Amino acid sequence: MAKTVNIYEAKTRLSEFVQLAAAGEEIIIAKAGKPMAMLVPLRAAPGRRAIGRWSGQMTIADDFDAPLPKSLLRLFEGDDEP
């Protein structure tokens, strides 16, 4: 369950609340009893993707970006007849 604190308490005890959040606790910061923000643990950022990781494992057809055949294009445009 999240702990709710007012802004003044959050300012005076910020270091303590950051430690609690880092440990997994959620801290709700309220102003005049109205929740305004939430202090939560930071999730680890995903690692960087390696360039060329899929090299040699997939191919793209030479005509990948060629215009669609008229019969298929008509279907996309809502004409049911090929």
What value does the mean pLDDT take over residues 36-52? 88
Helices within 1-82 (DSSP H only): 7-12, 14-22, 70-76
Residue 9 has pLDDT above 90, yes or no: yes
- Among 32, 44, 45, smallest CA distance to 5 is for 32
* Arithmetic mean of pLDDT over the chain: 89
Per residue in 23-37, pLDDT (tens digit) is 999 999 999 999 999
What value does the mean pLDDT take over residues 59-65? 91
Query: What per-residue confidence (pLDDT) applies to 66?
Result: 92
Q: Options 2.120.10.90, 3.40.1620.10, 1.10.340.30, 3.30.420.40; which CATH number does 3-39 get? A: 3.40.1620.10
Residue 81 has pLDDT above 80, yes or no: no
Query: What per-residue confidence (pLDDT) applies to 80?
Result: 65
